[in-house]
Amino acid sequence: MSQQASAAARPAEAGAVQPRGFILWFTGMSGAGKSTLSTALRRRLEGAHSVEVLDGDEVRTFLSRGLGFTKPDREENIRRIGYVARVLARHRVAVISAAISPYRDSRNEVRRLATEAGIPFVEVYAKASLDALVHRDVKGLYKKALAGEIPHFTGVSDPYEPPESPEITVYTDSETVEQSVERILATLRQQGLTAQH
């Protein structure tokens, strides 16, 4: 056996157990901190897990190009993210989805399909007041939406349906990123999904 092959075999011989895959599903309005928290969580989890982040903007560019922002298109976008997340999680990847996912039924469908596949699903509601989102809006999107210049803008001209019973709610207009990350990690530890501290 080559030295490289021997090294690759050692963890299994030592009885090491690979972490279980799961889906950590962020939902929240634009600018609520989903991407920021996802990046911070990835850094914390990478030592013990294979981690992939499915960021809403990147998915729109590479997986859901051509879909608009009507309700059917938004629902299709979430179905696609959910499908990719399940495929990855089945291979023991910790999947972090960071998309607005404004409709409760779509999120519940993703949860149901994950649960049926035996994949743990943890919903994280990144909550912030509209005033806070408008204040921190570096792209000026809320200002344009409030002026009627952007149609189908979630939380202004399109609905956002908050989750009714997420596993955890983080208050990104009053907590630091570090505080929110610690609370999310604590939830994952309670569910036996990570040992990361």
Nearest 5°: the CA angle 131, 135, 136 is: 120
- How far, in Å, are 46, 129, 145, 146, 148 from residue 53 at the CA level? 11, 25, 28, 30, 32
Q: Is 35 annotated as a binding residue?
A: yes
C-alpha 76/C-alpha 81 separation (Å) is: 9
DSSP state of 50: E
Assigned token pair, 146:
């409030």
| Annotation marks residue 6 as catalytic | no
Q: Is 1 annotated as a binding residue?
A: no
Per the listing, tokens 């007041």 go with 129
Q: Is 32 annotated as a binding residue?
A: yes
Is beta strand 22-27 parallel, antiparallel or unpaired with respect to 93-98? parallel
Catalytic residue among 38, 64, 101, 106: 101
Please, how many CA atoms are within 13 Å of residue 29, restricted to the half-sphere of its CB? 26
Binding site per annotation, positions for ATP: 28-35
Binding site per annotation, positions: 28-35
- List, by residue number, the catalytic residues: 101
